[in-house]
């Protein structure tokens, strides 16, 4: 039997998750199915329930559902708790759903390791103020930038 995973979002066509996870599974010899799912805005929780009842092991979550994913989880990691958003939902052995947020560690690793850039003492502009940004702020600030400016379509959301 193949392990079942998916990425949920709306829109979802932009997601490269199925390609990335297929490559990862090939390298690690894991047998899995990883689907991209367009989830209706009003049915996130029902869609997650159906996925896990159907044997799904884990979900990646993208816009606009990261805060809903946080609220859906039975338990959340410190990273998800701090962000108030989760981009990963995993079924634990006892059946609980764990929410985590890897946006921050992913961004910092990409900037520092893959690009070879330093963040310390740099001015940083963050575009947007959604769940992903909420997940990256603490890891970004821990790198001691000179300043961080958050720009968003709505000032109120950026200030929050």
- How far from the centroid of its chain's Cα atoms is residue 53's Cα? 21
Place of tokens 């899995």: 32
Give residues with Cβ within 8 angstroms of 14, minimum separation 6.
none
Distance (Å, rounded) from C-alpha 58 to C-alpha 139?
24
Task: Please pick, among 66, 118, 122, 157, the residue that the annotation labels catalytic.
Answer: 66
Distance (Å, rounded) from C-alpha 159 to C-alpha 157?
5
Q: Which of 35, 46, 30 is nearest to 12 (CA)?
A: 35
Give how far Cα 13 sits from Cα of 16, 20, 54, 58, 59, Å.
Answer: 8, 14, 23, 19, 16
Catalytic residue status for 35: no
Catalytic residue numbers, as ranges: 66
């Amino acid at each position: 039997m193949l392990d079942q995973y998916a990425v949920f979002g709306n829109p979802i066509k932009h997601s490269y998750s199925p390609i990335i996870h297929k490559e990862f599974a090939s390298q690690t010899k894991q047998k899995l199915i990883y689907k991209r799912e367009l989830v209706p805005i009003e049915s996130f929780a029902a869609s997650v329930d159906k996925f896990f009842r159907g044997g799904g092991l884990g979900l990646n979550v993208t816009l606009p559902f990261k805060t809903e994913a946080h609220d859906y989880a039975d338990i959340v990691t410190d990273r998800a708790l701090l962000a108030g958003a989760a981009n990963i939902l995993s079924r634990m052995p006892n059946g609980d759903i764990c929410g985590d947020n890897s946006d921050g560690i992913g961004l910092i690793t990409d900037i520092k390791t893959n690009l070879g850039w330093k963040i310390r003492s740099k001015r940083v502009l963050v575009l947007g103020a959604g769940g992903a940004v909420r997940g990256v702020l603490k890891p970004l600030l821990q790198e001691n930038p000179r300043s961080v400016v958050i720009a968003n379509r709505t000032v109120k959301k950026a200030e929050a």
